[in-house]
Structure 1
């Protein structure tokens, strides 16, 4: 409602009056200034606390981190009596990597988080059978690691988390003999799917406002005899939403199921980025 005030007689303000007249004059003057804009309300006169003006935050943060891993690989694969060793140097990776898709997704609320690492690779490499027989090994690897984590240490500069989850593997391996005179039915193909329990730690720490380090160490077993995974990276924060990182990742798996043996170490440089929202 508009506030109507009588005109103030300035000359009368100079005459002595009862105690408190000066204070009434100041209050009336403030009322005239507020009324000049048309309507006076509490918001026009009293400051609003910042906390009341800010929109309440949900507390959840989400991170999507696609990456490219260019690994070398070595190990052994067995199909019953047929066993082969293989080694693919990093310099040959582009000749042997047929396809790859990789990425991490994380949702965090205060000290609690859940994350998922998905890795798919299709590789081909030269292998050696006993007596120097030449062969070609093909490997199609799908690996998914869902896990939950809790921050034992959480500060403005970083966090140190413990995690527990599962690692789901699906491996298809094929072995084709390439020495024509010895192609005597030695070609083999096998697919196996299994699940391992995993535990580990992961961390991130800001060295400066723009540069940070991050990584994880994960190990486990169950269906396989053992599996392990190590990652270390250095990142650069472009802004509050985007970051870029580069590092090195290595992992190993030792699995045996009846006549099928898959024992492999995969390692190499990794490049990626993160998007936060």
Structure 2
């Protein structure tokens, strides 16, 4: 039960610079780089089938639990998963934002007569904002660097229903923090509608998290001038500690995304 509680809470805290990680695909190779001063916009929806490894204590005073969960283990108890990103570009500048809301509610019966059942509601809201600057661009290659802020909010509630003792237990923990990050993104056009994007960030610097980083690679297909589809792999690590609260995990798995540009 402790493993389920900690793993559930940890899953929801994955967040993201996915707005920066899943950028609008660059123009086709036969087109010159787009550095217009006219603003352009894109919106991205994405799904991340992530496994979870690490250790967590997200409902202290419950002890720290080691985690090793597949995506199927996590998906079984998820009931809300909303993810989206946006980017505005003006010339060499890009302004990115990302939001993710997740909620899971695992539960089960408890052995013995004293309590009847236990249920966990774990919800996380992650907000990301950043600025990227294109330091190099030609017909086949773009390179952006930048910085931003990643906000995490983890809200976990444990409810244990009464049994013969007629005693009910309600325990909740809410934790939030803000991490500065520095980021880089590279896009290489492979010919025709195909391109490759590699991006990552690192942050925390013991200001909030001790350390947080992520890396993602995607292969992109530009279906037309408005729609881009991509598939790849993403890993996100964070080590946050405050008192008895511990959140030291890595999420990793395939990611699928679709972007609409205008």
1:233 to 1:154, Cα distance in 2 relative to 1, 3 A: same
> Is the 2:52–2:250 contact (alpha carbons within 8 Å) kept by the matching residues of 1?
yes
* Larger RCO, structure (CA 8 Å, separation 6 or more): 2
Q: Secondary structure at the match of 1:143?
A: strand
Partner of 1:43: none
Gaps of 5+ in 1: 1-56, 127-134
CA distance, structure 2, for counterparts of residue 80 and residue 241 of structure 1:
48
Gaps of 5+ in 2: 1-35, 108-117
Partner of 1:254: 239
Partner of 1:118: 99
1:264 to 1:172, Cα distance in 2 relative to 1, 3 A: farther
The partner residue of 1:149 within 132, 137, 156 is 132
The partner residue of 1:207 within 175, 182, 190 is 190
1:125 to 1:246, Cα distance in 2 relative to 1, 3 A: farther
Deviation at 1:59?
A: 2.4
- Within a 5 Å distance, the mapping from 1:13-24 to structure 2 comes to none
Does residue 192 (structure 1) correspond to residue 175 (structure 2)? The answer is yes
Partner of 1:38: none
How many corresponding residue pairs? 215
1:58 to 1:111, Cα distance in 2 relative to 1, 3 A: closer
Higher helix proportion (structure 1 or 2): 1
More displaced, 144-153 or 68-77?
Answer: 68-77
Does residue 87 (structure 1) correspond to residue 68 (structure 2)? The answer is yes
More displaced, 89-98 or 142-151?
Answer: 89-98
CA distance, structure 2, for counterparts of residue 204 and residue 212 of structure 1:
7
Return the index of the structure with the highest Cα Rg.
Answer: 1
Does residue 224 (structure 1) correspond to residue 225 (structure 2)? The answer is no
Deviation at 1:259?
A: 2.6
> Is the 2:46–2:257 contact (alpha carbons within 8 Å) kept by the matching residues of 1?
yes
CA distance, structure 2, for counterparts of residue 69 and residue 235 of structure 1:
16
CA distance, structure 2, for counterparts of residue 93 and residue 262 of structure 1:
17
1:273 to 1:101, Cα distance in 2 relative to 1, 3 A: same
Deviation at 1:157?
A: 2.5
Deviation at 1:137?
A: 5.8
CA distance, structure 2, for counterparts of residue 165 and residue 187 of structure 1:
37
Q: CA RMSD in A?
A: 2.9
1:136 to 1:227, Cα distance in 2 relative to 1, 3 A: farther
